[in-house]
A and B are shown apart, each in its own frame.
Chain A
Amino acid sequence: AQKVTQAQTEISVVEKEDVTLDCVYETRDTTYYLFWYKQPPSGELVFLIRRNSFDEQNEISGRYSWNFQKSTSSFNFTITASQVVDSAVYFCAVTGANNLFFGTGTRLTVIP
């Protein structure tokens, strides 16, 4: 069965520091998709990125970047020059069997 491990339960950084959120997944599917979602204090879930298993190119979107390494089953998320508005819980997820399997989330606190 699919499984996502986000080993970092909570991270605190000072504003403008870079921070990397780790995600390790397990799946037996040969084709799958990986996601990152952000859950700010207001509670909604905000889609950040989707990556398919055949595309291992790293992606950058503004201050956000993602590093997908199939060999280590990891899909890590880096925020460069963090800001207070980045404070949230971040979830990594992998697809499988009509489902998105979520990790338990990493709570990021950016201290001004």
Chain B
Amino acid sequence: IAGITQAPTSQILAAGRRMTLRCTQDMRHNAMYWYRQDLGLGLRLIHYSNTAGTTGKGEVPDGYSVSRANTDDFPLTLASAVPSQTSVYFCASSRTGTGLTEAFFGQGTRLTVV
């Protein structure tokens, strides 16, 4: 049982570098999400996609981009990383849009920008 797979598990990245966090789900869920988790702030939505081919901005989209070429994959790209993007990133999916079913989360990617 895979569910949602994120890669890499952790990464140390030099500021200014480009980085793509990968997320793949095998549950054929329509909706996918990227959250960042920061101490004292909980989880905040970066970008979402309600179905393949569409994406939308969440609460904290600046500095990030996403694409949804197919149902299974939802990569998150940092075009030019900055230290404030040091965080734990979680990918999630749900069968339909948020609220209709529970969201399943990946194991997280711990990113440190130095």
User: A residues bordering B, Cβ < 8 Å?
Assistant: 4, 31-33, 35, 37, 43-45, 47, 50, 91, 93, 95-96, 98-100, 102-105
Q: Are A47 and B104 in contact (CB under 8 A)?
A: yes
Give the complex CA separation of A103 and B43 in angstroms.
8
Is B41 an interface residue when CB atoms closer than 8 A count as contact? yes
Q: Are A100 and B108 in contact (CB under 8 A)?
A: no
| Known contacts A43-B108, A45-B105, A104-B40, A99 near B88 by CB under 8 Å | no
Is B74 an interface residue when CB atoms closer than 8 A count as contact? no
Q: Are B105 and A99 in contact (CB under 8 A)?
A: no
User: B residues bordering A, Cβ < 8 Å?
Assistant: 33, 35, 40-45, 48, 50, 56, 58-59, 88, 90, 92, 97-108
Give the complex CA separation of A35 and B94 in angstroms.
13
Q: Are B108 and A95 in contact (CB under 8 A)?
A: no
Give the complex CA separation of A104 and B35 in angstroms.
13
Chain B residues near A98 (CB-CB < 8 A): 48, 50, 56, 58, 97-98
Closest CB in chain A relative to B32 CB, distance in Å: 11
Give the complex CA separation of A33 and B100 in angstroms.
8
| Known contacts A43-B88, A43-B108, A45-B90, A95 near B42 by CB under 8 Å | no
